[in-house]
Amino acid sequence: MSRHTIRIAPSILSADFARLADEIARVERGGADLLHIDVMDGHFVPNLTVGPPIVEALRKVTKLPLDVHLMMTNPDAFVAEFAEAGADYLTVHVETCPHLHRTVQSIKERGVKAGVSVNPATPIGLLEEIALDADLILIMSVNPGFGGQQFIPSSLQKIAQARQLIDRVKSPAALEVDGGVKPDNAGQIIQAGADILVSGSAIFSANDYGTVIAALRAAGQSASFPRNPQTVPVHR
C-alpha cells in the first residue's frame, strides 16, 4: 500500500553556521520540504544551540516551513517568542510538559502547528491522550543532544506503534523521525510509517545535498506500509 510523498527536513544542527544562509539556499535548491531547527537548552539535553534570533534570521532567507524542535526544560516560556520569530511548527517533549494539552493549545492559538516528541526511552503510550490534538508527532531515534549519532534499531517498532496510534485515532498528525536517518535506513523508517524524515549529517556532510535529499525521498517510493508493529523488521 503506497502513501503520499515523503517530506525531507534537513537539520541545520549539522550545517556550517558560518555560512548558514548559503547552506539553507543549497538544501532549498536540493528539494528540501522543511527546515528542522533544534533548540537545545543545555539542561534537558546536553548541548546549547540556537534561540529565537536565529529562527527570525532564517525566516528572512527562506520560504521553507521552519520546523522548530524545542528540546527545553521549560518550553512554555518560549512559545510566544519562537512563534513571533517565524516558526511554522513548534514541537515540545512530553517529558517536559506537565500540562501538555495547554502547551499544545498555546502553540495553536498563535497560528503555529503543534508537534509533540518522545525520546527513545519514552513509551508511545504517553502520546495516547494528545495524538488527536497534535499536528506532528516526532519520534527521536537517537538520544537528543548531538548530531551524527547512530540510529537506534528498536526505534523501527516504536515508529510503527506511533503510526498505528495516529491511524487508530484518526489524528491529522504527520509522523516525523529524527536521529541517524540516512539513505541506507530510510526505506525501513518509511516502511514503519514515517511521513517526514529529519536528516542532518547525512545531508550536510555530502558534496551534493540534493542527491542525498532525493535518495531519502526515493526510499519511500516502492516501500510497503504494514500497520501491525509486529510485522516491522528490527535489524540489530
- Mapping DSSP onto H, E and C, the string for 159-188 reads HHHHHHHHHHHCCCCEEEEECCCCHHHHHH
What percent of the chain has pLDDT above 90? 81
In which domain, by residue range, is 32 found? 7-231
C-alpha cell at 75: 518550553
| DSSP label at residue 91 | E
Residue 184 lies in a domain: yes
Question: For residue 136, what pLDDT band results from cuts at 50, 70 and 90?
Answer: very high
Residue 1 lies in a domain: no
Residue 201 lies in a domain: yes
Task: Read off the pLDDT of each residue in 41-48 and give the average, rounded to a whole number.
Answer: 74
Q: Tell me what pLDDT residue 222 has.
A: 59
CATH of the domain at 72: 3.20.20.70
pLDDT at 62 over 80: yes
Give me the residue label for grid cell 510538559. Answer: 97
Residue 236 lies in a domain: no
Residue 118 lies in a domain: yes
Dist. CA 21–CA 12, nearest whole Å: 11
Q: Whole-model pTM?
A: 0.90
Number of domains the chain contains: 1
* Cβ neighbours of residue 201 closer than 8 Å, sequence gap 6 or more: 14, 147, 148
Residue 142 lies in a domain: yes
Inter-residue contact 175 to 159 (CB < 8 Å): yes
Q: Tell me what pLDDT residue 3 has.
A: 52
Residue 210 lies in a domain: yes
Give me the residue label for grid cell 548541548. Answer: 47
Residue 191 lies in a domain: yes
Which secondary structure element, helix H or strand E, spans residue 70, and what is its range? strand 66-71
Inter-residue contact 149 to 143 (CB < 8 Å): yes
The residues that are catalytic are 38, 178
